[in-house]
Structure 1
């Protein structure tokens, strides 16, 4: 009942009440046409790609048929040439890798000796341990000195009381 009062008040102020959503028939027709367009687009693209794939396969087979006799005729030259090129490329890659490793090692040694850049790996725990041991040694030395003074005072008291 309260909704009827609001709808009547809305209709009096603004005209007809608002409609939320659309009818079922208009939704199904737009949905059906949208699905048809999607299907036609996907089918067109799929058929085009399938045609291109077939043309590529045909071209590859024709090229292989033409090139096979040439490869057989020149194989006594091509196989050793390919092997030599492979070994040369492998040698260049290996020497380049060794050069990069040597430069990295020399850079690390330079930074380690000069102390520049970041601290070396593990130096922070070592510095902490060295400082900790130095503090403990200082504490032991102070306690030994205090105990020595205490013992000397007790000895002095004991000798004073004896006279």
Structure 2
């Protein structure tokens, strides 16, 4: 029986944490407690700020809402103009590289599309030539003097 207890104690001692694991757990516990405390301070500060600033916000809202709207629209216009400018610059840069023969990304798709359009135009031209001759013969049959 003593041998069996010693085996259990041996297993317990075998799985006991070492000092590095204990130090890591203590560090984790302390940093978690500090973050929880800071979260509480942040929530409390937000509530105090809301209680103190809500009357001012209500008082000045006839001024602040139009000003905020104008600033939002101005910022949206500025950012969209910058985005469109960047898009135009990107397209022009891509076209310049394509025309210089540097093969930018996607140029193989443009070449393939151009080839397909030229093939289709050639087929339509041949078809029109054949069908036009057919119609010319029909017109001659319908009106021999024309």
**Secondary structure at 2:108 match in 1:** coil
Farther off after superposition, 73-82 or 51-60: 51-60
Counterpart among 99, 111, 117 of residue 102 in structure 2: 117
Aligned length: 102
What is the rounded CA distance, in whole Å, between the counterparts of 1:31 and 1:117 in structure 2?
65
Counterpart among 84, 88, 98 of residue 98 in structure 1: 84
Counterpart among 27, 32, 41 of residue 13 in structure 2: 27
Query: With CA pairs under 8 Å and 6+ residues apart, which has the higher RCO, 1 or 2?
Result: 2
Compute the displacement of 1:121 (Å).
Answer: 2.2
Compute the displacement of 1:42 (Å).
Answer: 4.7
Counterpart among 47, 68, 77 of residue 33 in structure 2: 47
Q: 1:111 to 1:82 in 2, by over 3 A?
A: same
**Root mean square deviation of aligned Cα:** 3.4
Compute the displacement of 1:43 (Å).
Answer: 4.4
Match of 2:70 in 1: 84
Larger Rg: 1
Q: TM-score, normalised by structure 2?
A: 0.53
Q: Where does the alignment leave 5 or more consecutive residues of structure 2 unmatched? A: 1-8, 116-146
**Secondary structure at 1:47 match in 2:** helix
What is the rounded CA distance, in whole Å, between the counterparts of 1:84 and 1:48 in structure 2?
41
Compute the displacement of 1:40 (Å).
Answer: 5.3
Compute the displacement of 1:65 (Å).
Answer: 0.8
Compute the displacement of 1:98 (Å).
Answer: 1.5
Q: TM-score, normalised by structure 1?
A: 0.48
Q: 1:102 to 1:43 in 2, by over 3 A?
A: closer
- 1:60-82: per-residue Cα shift (whole Å, max 9, x none)? 11111111111111111111111
Match of 1:132 in 2: none
